[in-house]
């Protein structure tokens, strides 16, 4: 029996309403502000023709505040699955053009369906957040609806990669859904994220502030550390999503997209021999080392503007996807402080849970000294690095380029933290503390009595460095697997990664460890 024209027309009519969303005028307004509509974002995200929507005919069920006769097409969110580079991905996109993208029970149900699908089929999930928050007319039902989204974000954590794009308002408790996901991208203009806005802050505390200061992309990327990437606009945000996905597996049971050739051929790179400054006290940009190690110099840095004294991000070495973690000597001398420890530990845990080997580049003089650091809990935060590395079971390769002192040496994945290989350059200095500090303690009396204190201190420090900080001392005790020429580094790491790809390490069963938070 063929479908009647009436029925077919009705379906098309309903589809048209859903596809129009807030209508042409609202779409024009968005374009004028340089923003895409909710559907345009999904079109940009997925390969052409691959998006399959679910819940297009969704309707709210509110009967208060005159809502009984009000239609909210799609209930202000578009959800479904599609393909990116041939891989299935789930997504939702809140439609600010319809009821301000506000979240009610049906709206949340659609997001939950996308999240559930992602979990069941093991696909990444991307959420475009652009919403006035809980739909006020739905009252506590809307709060509960948020709770259901949060609950699923947590269940999916460590199962499939979750990426949030903040592309409009994301206010109050609504900000906790993206905060529970793995990576947050925020558009530079037109997006705000905050728990209490400037007006509430002023009313409650008397403090005067601006949205720029507390809720902008810039503030979150550099000060709060809540987001990982700033996008110039929606198109750029989608590009960042695509690039991230190119390094990530679809789920925790899969390998990341390695590009392994049958034959491994890596040549020496003489440029690495000259990469460190001659004076061991001078800084250098560790990204220059990373870019020489990463295939084609292709390194995707994560959270570049936050805690810049540690650099983290993705790349490939000999085709194997790796997570790089490196001290950055140009910022705070590459010391580990509270923010750097939080950033590093979270990245290590992401890599571990998604089967991404970790390459750690060490040049760390220690933890950052300071009253503030001690009082704000550097012990608790620094411990996260130890916890993250010690619990990571993926292949872990550590390269000590220069300084590796004290507890920070351990916190940068020493052999004792389970590193599978520890390589060191001849310039490595591995010791309990820096030479200058050590001689001040060990030779206090001699220095006090010396005719030329500075010359004596230098002589003793040089002696200490040669005798106690030499990489050969550590190599002799097997804390270092091998001392290598810098030029040999990429080949050595690539070979180690190949050898370790099938690594399996089991730990005692437990619910979860109790990482210091
Ligand atoms: C219902 C909402 C809404 C909401 C916006 N709208 N937010 N409807 N519930 N939360 C509607 C508006 O009534 C308007 O409808 C349309 O969306 C566009 O909103 P405008 O205000 O015209 O847009 P704009 O000037 O761009 O301002 C955007 C805004 C503002 C800054 C986001 O709308 C706003 O302040 N909204 C309320 C934010 C808020 O307080 N939300 C509740 C937070 S509590 P019409 O029909 O005129 O087009 C919360 C708790 C969650 O979210 C807790 C989870 C644990």
Task: Look at residue 442 and tell me if it is in a domain.
Answer: yes
Three-class secondary structure of residue 475 per DSSP: helix
Tokens of 299: 């390194």
Mean pLDDT of the chain: 96
pLDDT surpasses 80 at 1: no
Q: Which residue has the tokens 């968005």?
A: 30
The reply to whether 59 and 180 lie within a common domain is: yes
Residue 415 pLDDT grade (very low, low, confident, very high; cuts 50, 70, 90): very high
pLDDT surpasses 90 at 307: yes
Contact partners, residue 96, CB within 8 Å, separation at least 6? 22, 30, 38, 130, 131, 132, 168, 169
pLDDT digits (tens, 9 = 90+) for 508-517: 999 999 999 9
Cβ-based neighbour number of residue 267 at 10 Å: 8
CA distance 284 to 274: 11
Residue 373 is inside which H or E element, if any? helix 371-376
Tokens of 249: 């597996």
Catalytic choice (104, 407, 434, 491): 407
Domain that holds residue 216: 13-245
Helix and strand totals (H; E) in the chain:
20, 17
Give residue 61's pLDDT.
87
The reply to whether 109 and 235 lie within a common domain is: yes
Cβ-based neighbour number of residue 468 at 10 Å: 16
CA of 209 to the centre of ligand 1 (A): 21
Give residue 39's pLDDT.
98
Give residue 492's pLDDT.
97
CA of 14 to the centre of ligand 1 (A): 26
The reply to whether 364 and 446 lie within a common domain is: no
Q: Residue 108 sits in a domain of what CATH number?
A: 3.90.226.10
Q: Quick check: CB of 174 below 6 Å from ligand 1? A: yes
The reply to whether 220 and 275 lie within a common domain is: no
Which residue in 110, 50, 112 sits closest to 81, CA to CA? 50
- Asked if residue 87 lies in contact with residue 123, where contact means CB atoms within 8 angstroms, the answer is yes
CA of 206 to the centre of ligand 1 (A): 24
CA distance 427 to 359: 19
Tokens of 424: 């060191």
pTM of the model: 0.96
Task: Look at residue 258 and tell me if it is in a domain.
Answer: no
The reply to whether 287 and 400 lie within a common domain is: yes
Task: Look at residue 488 and tell me if it is in a domain.
Answer: yes
Task: Look at residue 166 and tell me if it is in a domain.
Answer: yes
């Amino acid at each position: 029996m063929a479908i009647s024209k009436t029925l077919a027309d009705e379906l098309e009519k309903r589809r048209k309403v859903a596809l129009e969303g807030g209508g042409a005028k609202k779409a024009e307004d968005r374009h004028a502000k340089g923003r895409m509509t909710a559907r345009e974002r999904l079109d940009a995200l997925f390969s052409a023709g691959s998006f399959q929507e679910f819940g297009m005919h969704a309707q709210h069920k509110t009967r208060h505040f005159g809502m009984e006769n009000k239609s909210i097409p799609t209930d202000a969110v578009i959800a479904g699955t599609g393909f990116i580079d041939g891989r299935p991905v789930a997504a939702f996109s809140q439609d600010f053009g319809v009821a301000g993208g506000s979240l009610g029970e049906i709206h949340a149900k659609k997001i939950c369906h996308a999240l559930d699908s992602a979990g069941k089929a093991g696909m990444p999930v991307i959420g475009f957040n652009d919403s006035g928050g809980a739909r006020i007319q739905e009252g506590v039902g809307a709060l509960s609806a948020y709770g259901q989204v949060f609950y699923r974000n947590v269940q999916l954590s460590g199962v499939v990669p979750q990426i949030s794009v903040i592309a409009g308002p994301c206010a109050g408790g609504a900000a906790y859904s993206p905060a529970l996901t793995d990576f947050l991208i925020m558009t530079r203009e037109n997006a705000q994220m905050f728990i209490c806005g400037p007006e509430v802050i002023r009313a409650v505390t008397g403090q005067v502030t601006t949205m720029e200061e507390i809720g902008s992309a810039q503030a979150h990327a550099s000060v709060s550390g809540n987001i990982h990437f700033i996008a110039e606009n929606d198109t750029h945000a989608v590009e960042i999503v695509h690039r991230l996905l190119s390094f990530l597996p679809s789920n925790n049971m899969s390998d990341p997209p390695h590009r392994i050739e049958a034959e491994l051929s890596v040549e020496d790179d003489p440029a690495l021999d000259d990469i460190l400054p001659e004076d061991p006290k001078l800084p250098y940009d560790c990204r220059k080392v990373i870019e020489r190690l990463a295939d084609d110099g292709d390194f995707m840095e994560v959270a570049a503007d936050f805690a810049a004294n540690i650099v983290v991000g993705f790349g490939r070495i000999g085709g194997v996807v790796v997570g790089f973690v490196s001290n950055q000597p140009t910022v705070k001398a590459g010391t580990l402080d509270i923010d750097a420890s939080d950033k590093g530990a979270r990245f290590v845990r992401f890599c571990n849970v998604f089967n991404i080997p970790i390459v750690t580049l060490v040049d760390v003089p220690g933890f950052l000294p300071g009253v503030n650091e001690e009082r704000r809990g550097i012990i608790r935060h620094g411990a996260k690095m130890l916890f993250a590395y010690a619990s990571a079971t993926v292949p872990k390769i550590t390269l000590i380029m220069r300084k590796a002192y004290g507890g920070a040496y351990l916190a940068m994945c020493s052999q004792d933290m389970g590193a599978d290989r520890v390589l060191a350059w001849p310039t490595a200095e591995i010791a309990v503390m820096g030479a200058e500090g050590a001689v001040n303690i060990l030779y206090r009396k001699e220095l006090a009595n010396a005719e030329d204190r500075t010359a004596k201190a230098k002589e003793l420090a040089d002696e200490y460095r040669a005798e106690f900080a030499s990489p050969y001392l550590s190599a002799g005790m097997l804390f270092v697997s091998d001392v290598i020429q810098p030029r040999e580094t990429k080949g050595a790491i690539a070979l180690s990664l190949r050898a370790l790809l099938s690594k399996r390490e089991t730990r005692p069963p437990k619910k979860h460890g109790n990482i210091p938070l």
